[in-house]
Amino acid sequence: MNNFRIGQIVPSSNTTMETEIPAMLRAREAILPERFTFHSSRMRMKKVTKEELEAMDADSDRCALELSDARVDVLGYACLVAIMSMGKGYHCTSQERLHKVTVDNGAPAPVITSAGALVDGLHSMGARKIALICPYMKPLAQLVIDYIEDQGIEVEDSIALEIPDNIEVGRRDPAAPVEIASRLKTSNVDVIVASACVQMPSLASLPQIEARYGLPTVSAASCTTHFMLKSLGLETSVPNAGAILS
Which among 82, 77, 121 is positioned nearest to 96, based on CA atoms?
77
Which of 63, 134, 197, 223 is catalytic? The answer is 197
The Cβ-side half-sphere exposure at 162, using a 13 Å CA radius, reads: 2
**Amino acid residing at 1:** M
Give the DSSP letter of residue 31: T
> Is residue 223 among the annotated active site residues?
no
What is the C-alpha separation between 129 and 108, in angstroms, rounded?
36
In the DSSP assignment, the letter for residue 231 is: H
Q: Which of 63, 79, 134, 223 is catalytic?
A: 79
What is the DSSP secondary-structure string of 129-155?
Answer: EEEEEE-S-HHHHHHHHHHHHHTT-EE
Catalytic residue status for 63 = no
Could you give the residue numbers annotated as active site?
Answer: 79, 197
